[in-house]
Chain A
Amino acid sequence: MSDTVLALRGLTKRFGPKAAVDGLSLDVPAGSMLGLLGPNGAGKTTTLSMATGLLRPDAGSAWVLGADVWADPAAAKARMGVLPDGVRMFDRLSGSELLRYTGLLRGMPEPLVRERAGELLEALGLAGAGSTLVVDYSAGMRKKIGLACALIHAPRLLVLDEPFEAVDPVSGETIRQILRGFVGSGGTVVLSSHVMELVESLCDRVAVIAEGRLLADGALDEVRAGSSLQERFLALVGTHALGEGSLSWLRSS
């Protein structure tokens, strides 16, 4: 595929004896919105950390628009915007200060940063909280300011770890609109989620990983092959059926 935006090649990471990600390869074509699915502990966050330069892989490589994340990090990082999950922010800055900070770290000219920061705060419903410290934000507001930070330099690739977690439905719809517009104009999105319905309604590609390995990857309809994504996902990763007598004490009568 010539227009691959994100290419992962044999990514491997071990924590002690356990391989969190095991020889994972994945191609994300331009203009697609890929939903990365997997049960808890499947290695989603580890994979995204290695793809974005936060965690050095034991083996394998990651490429963003032809730039090797680990050989030429500056070029690769300039082309992607990232929303990490479960990572602290500089939360003693106010929302607008954090946005300005991120823009300047990216080397953007200040007038452009100011203009975009204002628009982003407005669009994400954070305009009223611009001068509140991020440490006082709710979980959903933090997600939104994190997303704004990932967007401010107009990247070609967005890597979002659980972007809809704790976000209220109204803001969620705004984020969907933003992402759809972004993909419509040729941008590429990789997002991880646990919510199958959300991925089905938003993404056009799906990748399923479990125990650090890629189980399925392709267009949404290809992967779900006639059934619902939920059913297909369970078939891939294997359900954990309850035995006949287990938890019988929980049945109240």
Chain B
Amino acid sequence: MAALVVGLRLRQLGRTLTRSPWAIVTLVLTGIGALSVLGMLGAGIATLRIGVPGLAPDALVLLAAALVLGWAVGSTLVAGEDGLAPELFALLPVRPARLLPAVLLAGALGIGGVATLLALGLGLVGWSVDGGALVAAALTTPLVLVTCVLAGRAVAGVLGRQLARRSTRDLLLVLATLLIIGSGLLLQAAVAALSALGSPAEAIGAAAEVAAWTPLGAAWGVAHAVAEGRPLVAVAQLAIALATAAVLWWAWARSFSARLTAPVVASGGGAVRTGTLIDRLLPATPVGAIAARGIRYRLRDPRHIVNVVGCALLPLIVLGAGLAGGGGASAALAFAPLLAILVVTTMVQLDTAYDKDAVALHVLTGVRGTHDRAGRLLAIGAVAVPLLLVACVVCALVAGRPELLPGTIGATLGVSMVVAGIGTAISPWLPGQAPGPESSPFGRGSSGGGQALLGLLVMGAGGAVLGGPVIAAAVGALWLPWLGWLGLAAGLVLGGLAVWGGVVVGGRQVDRRWPELLAAVSRED
């Protein structure tokens, strides 16, 4: 049974890679990303091992606890696209007892499982500060890995029914986005809190001491206790770790068995408020209708909500980080809104891709390409421009440099419009790929794939070349305030021209390439 399910899992992974050449590009990029994170982790552990060997066990307990927590939280985000969901086995005459070990093993096989195993392997380098601890850590490493996978499965299993409700999933995704965007700030706050407690080493030691007694960190807590020469503590923490795995197994097995006979079915959210305000504000034309639909989607579809939240929060988070970082308000903070341009770039680029094959309606009704592109940009503008303006005003005021405002508004809006125009012009060729409407934005393909990356590079380069002078004018306003007003005027004119040009160029190509565009964004891989 195990060999069969593991074989299924490997085939699933293989299939996702061999569907298209872009999938391989995406895989290589993901691999590079994962390797660089592992590389940084390895470097950190090595530094710790050589520099402050006394601190290594404490840090490693926290690492293990973080990994378990990561699996538990991460599983809720990708619960919708589990290739090993119990429901898929519901029709087979196989008892859960035979199925469970197989599914667990198969679940560990994947990018997450391999990366976790590598991270734990790197951790062993750190444990080498103490012979006994190294042996204990090596022996408990499988236990940590099993706890990770079980934690993910158990949390997703127990919360299965809640996660199947669309409103819950949408809410979770937005919360997770907030968490990811804000993680830098949270980390900074945590470090600040730690340093306020006294020396960081003591704080890490205290945190590890607590974590080693919790289910999250108990498995490597054993090695921690061995390193400190406390055998009784080691035995107690081993008991906690084994009990944790047992309880997780029990909870997961229970939910798994239950779902074999009572499948969890994704359910909806009932009626929506169908306000007519948006419709009344926009003209009753194809452009107006497409814009109204775009605005509605930005409030209803979590994949779009994630982008809107990112656009609103990114500048504020940089602002918060800058303030928390000490040194008081500096003029540089006034330029924080420029970062939101990154989100605008993604919004524009993937807009058609997010529709997937639903965009067939536009093809069937014969919407003109220019109307389609203009309506999409109007929707993004209606949502993003107010957010960017608020960000500019807040950042300039907090930085204490209101005289920079014309320049930062000009640069933020101007460069946004320039990249939006370029993105619209190239969108018929490089529409990118997006996760489906009902799948997790953090799941496969959420980065838009290699094709989207190429588009991003084009937009970034074009934005830098065309928008460079506008940004330069905004920065120049630090010394010559009138340059800011010049930048504002130049940004709006340049941006307006770019948007117009993008709509015309992109629109004409869309008219010619509708079927190809439809095929490109419909692809599921």
Using known A-B contacts A101-B289, A132-B270, determine if residue A89 contacts B437 with beta carbons closer than 8 Å.
Answer: no
Q: Assess whether A105 is in contact with B296, with CB atoms less than 8 Å apart.
A: no
Q: How far is the CB of A88 from chain B (nearest CB, A)?
A: 4
Name the CB-closest residue of B to A104: B289
In the complex, whether A188 has a CB less than 8 A from a CB of chain B is: no
Q: Assess whether A107 is in contact with B286, with CB atoms less than 8 Å apart.
A: yes
Enumerate chain B residues within 8 angstroms of A104, measured Cβ to Cβ. Answer: 284-286, 288-289
Partner of B363, one of A54, A91, A113, A136: A54
Partner of B296, one of A73, A82, A89, A92: A92
Q: Assess whether A88 is in contact with B357, with CB atoms less than 8 Å apart.
A: yes
Q: Assess whether B366 is in contact with A109, with CB atoms less than 8 Å apart.
A: no
Using known A-B contacts A88-B357, A93-B296, determine if residue A53 contacts B268 with beta carbons closer than 8 Å.
Answer: no
Q: Assess whether A53 is in contact with B514, with CB atoms less than 8 Å apart.
A: yes
In the complex, whether A175 has a CB less than 8 A from a CB of chain B is: no
Q: Assess whether B296 is in contact with A107, with CB atoms less than 8 Å apart.
A: no
In the complex, whether B81 has a CB less than 8 A from a CB of chain A is: no
In the complex, whether B365 has a CB less than 8 A from a CB of chain A is: yes
Using known A-B contacts A100-B289, A104-B289, A109-B284, determine if residue A88 contacts B356 with beta carbons closer than 8 Å.
Answer: yes
Interface bits A77-101 vs B (CB < 8 Å: 1, else 0): 1100010100111111110110011
Q: Assess whether B358 is in contact with A105, with CB atoms less than 8 Å apart.
A: no
In the complex, whether A123 has a CB less than 8 A from a CB of chain B is: no
Partner of B358, one of A55, A77, A78, A89: A89
Interface size class of chain A, counting residues whose CB lies under 8 Å from the partner chain: 35 or more
Q: Assess whether B274 is in contact with A97, with CB atoms less than 8 Å apart.
A: yes
A residues 113-164 touching B (CB-CB < 8 Å) = 113, 130-133, 135-136, 149
In the complex, whether A74 has a CB less than 8 A from a CB of chain B is: yes
Enumerate chain A residues within 8 angstroms of B271, measured Cβ to Cβ. Answer: 94, 131-133
Q: How far is the CB of A110 from chain B (nearest CB, A)?
A: 4
Partner of A84, one of B268, B284, B355, B364: B364
In the complex, whether A56 has a CB less than 8 A from a CB of chain B is: yes
B residues 337-372 touching A (CB-CB < 8 Å) = 355-358, 360-368
Enumerate chain B residues within 8 angstroms of A100, measured Cβ to Cβ. Answer: 279, 289
Name the CB-closest residue of B to A50: B515
Q: Assess whether A136 is in contact with B274, with CB atoms less than 8 Å apart.
A: no
In the complex, whether A102 has a CB less than 8 A from a CB of chain B is: yes
A-B contact count (CB 8 A): 107
Q: How far is the CA of A209 from the CA of B356 in the complex (A)?
A: 29
Q: How far is the CA of A196 from the CA of B499 in the complex (A)?
A: 53
Partner of B364, one of A82, A92, A107, A109: A82
Q: How far is the CA of A109 from the CA of B288 in the complex (A)?
A: 12
In the complex, whether A32 has a CB less than 8 A from a CB of chain B is: no
Q: How far is the CB of A135 from chain B (nearest CB, A)?
A: 6
Using known A-B contacts A88-B358, A92-B437, determine if residue A106 contacts B518 with beta carbons closer than 8 Å.
Answer: no
B residues 270-296 touching A (CB-CB < 8 Å) = 270-274, 279, 284-286, 288-290, 292-293, 296
Q: How far is the CA of A78 from the CA of B368 in the complex (A)?
A: 12
Q: How far is the CA of A236 from the CA of B285 in the complex (A)?
A: 48
Using known A-B contacts A54-B360, A54-B363, A82-B364, determine if residue A105 contacts B289 with beta carbons closer than 8 Å.
Answer: yes
In the complex, whether B301 has a CB less than 8 A from a CB of chain A is: yes
Q: Assess whether A133 is in contact with B364, with CB atoms less than 8 Å apart.
A: no
In the complex, whether A52 has a CB less than 8 A from a CB of chain B is: yes
Q: Assess whether A102 is in contact with B365, with CB atoms less than 8 Å apart.
A: yes
Q: How far is the CB of A126 from chain B (nearest CB, A)?
A: 13
In the complex, whether B51 has a CB less than 8 A from a CB of chain A is: no
In the complex, whether B297 has a CB less than 8 A from a CB of chain A is: yes
Using known A-B contacts A92-B300, A92-B301, A94-B274, determine if residue A87 contacts B360 with beta carbons closer than 8 Å.
Answer: yes
Enumerate chain B residues within 8 angstroms of A92, measured Cβ to Cβ. Answer: 296-297, 300-301, 437
Enumerate chain A residues within 8 angstroms of B363, measured Cβ to Cβ. Answer: 53-54
Partner of B286, one of A53, A56, A105, A136: A105
Q: How far is the CA of A109 from the CA of B289 in the complex (A)?
A: 12
In the complex, whether B82 has a CB less than 8 A from a CB of chain A is: no
Enumerate chain B residues within 8 angstroms of A84, measured Cβ to Cβ. Answer: 360, 364
Enumerate chain B residues within 8 angstroms of A82, measured Cβ to Cβ. Answer: 364
In the complex, whether B326 has a CB less than 8 A from a CB of chain A is: no
Q: Assess whether A78 is in contact with B364, with CB atoms less than 8 Å apart.
A: no
Q: How far is the CA of A185 from the CA of B147 in the complex (A)?
A: 69
Q: Assess whether A78 is in contact with B269, with CB atoms less than 8 Å apart.
A: no
Given A90-B355, A104-B284, 17 further pairs, Cβ under 8 A:
A54-B515, A74-B366, A76-B366, A77-B364, A88-B358, A89-B358, A90-B358, A91-B358, A92-B437, A93-B293, A101-B292, A101-B361, A104-B286, A105-B361, A109-B284, A130-B274, A132-B272
Across the A-B interface, the 10 shortest Cβ-Cβ residue pairs:
A136-B268, A77-B366, A104-B289, A110-B284, A88-B358, A105-B365, A56-B515, A92-B300, A131-B271, A131-B274
Interface of B toward A, CB cutoff 8 Å: 166, 268-274, 279, 284-286, 288-290, 292-293, 296-297, 300-301, 355-358, 360-368, 437-438, 514-516, 518-519
Name 7 interchain pairs, CB-CB below 8 A, sorted by A: A73-B514, A90-B355, A101-B289, A105-B361, A107-B286, A131-B271, A131-B273
